[in-house]
Amino acid sequence: MANRKVSVWSSIPFWRRSAAWVTGFATMLLIWLSFDTLGQISMGTDADLKNGVTKRVPAPTVINYKIDYKMDAKRGHEVPVIGEKQPFFGKEWSEQEAADLLHLGKLTSQAKNCMNCHTLLGNGAYFAPDLTKAWLDPAWQNGGALQGMTGKNTVEEAMAEFLQHPSQYPTHARMMPNLGITADEAKGLVAFLKHMSSIDTNGFPRNFSKSVETFKAGGTHAK
């Protein structure tokens, strides 16, 4: 009886040691992934933009640049491309001004509960259009239907006009309600949307990238 062999699978010490090893390995892996992710999601600086250093989350001053998306064959999806300087509401915003404007836009989006109808970076509802890449929607670009409807000459002016007076511009059966958005809040919201469109979201949402030409043809840059 004393020499009876016990299977390792029924050994309590074996399972205790195994659990300790698995827990230790998972903890180390989680710590490594956390530090690796921090570098990926940390916001870039104005110097990064000026030096052409690509960050997944660019600095607030990215609102001073043209933003485009291109298909990256290696990654298999679209990636943001920060282009040349582009005035935003007719001027170039300093680091502090851009940061303050984005902060106002973020607070306004929360105060007006935009995610109650829209999706932002994967969070929110699908009752109204996904706003993650709304800035890039060709309908807001020069020659697009939404910009033409507002009578404005730039994307930011058209978006700001629509946000302040949505009932004047019926775009869908599910019309946006008048939320009492002020002119300053509208500027902040548009800056918030432009900055969000510059974030590298690994191709999310899928098939959003359209030039005016591909939009008219019903296609996208995505493959």
- With b meaning 16 or more CB within 10 Å and e meaning fewer, what string describes 23-52? eeeeeeeeeeeeeeeeeeeeebbbebbeee
Helices 155-164, 183-197: inter-axial angle, 10-degree rounding: 130
What does the block give as tokens for 146?
């939404």
- Please say whether the structural domain 50-198 has been given the CATH code 1.10.760: yes
Greatest Cα pair distance, the chain, in angstroms, is 94
CB 185 within 8 A of CB 106: no
User: Quick check: helix, strand or coil at residue 132?
Assistant: coil
Does the N-terminal peptide bond of residue 177 adopt cis geometry, omega within 30 degrees of 0?
A: no
Model pTM score: 0.81
Rounded CA separation 114/199 (Å): 19
Can you give the pLDDT of all 223 residues of the chain as single tens digits? Answer: 556 677 888 888 899 999 999 999 999 999 999 888 887 788 999 999 999 888 899 999 999 999 988 888 888 888 889 999 999 999 999 999 999 999 999 999 999 999 999 999 989 998 998 999 999 888 898 888 889 999 999 999 999 999 999 989 877 777 889 999 999 999 999 999 999 999 999 888 876 665 556 655 555 554 4
Alpha-carbon distances, residue 73 vs 67, 78, 203, 214, 223 (angstroms): 19, 8, 12, 19, 9
Domain ranges for the chain: 50-198
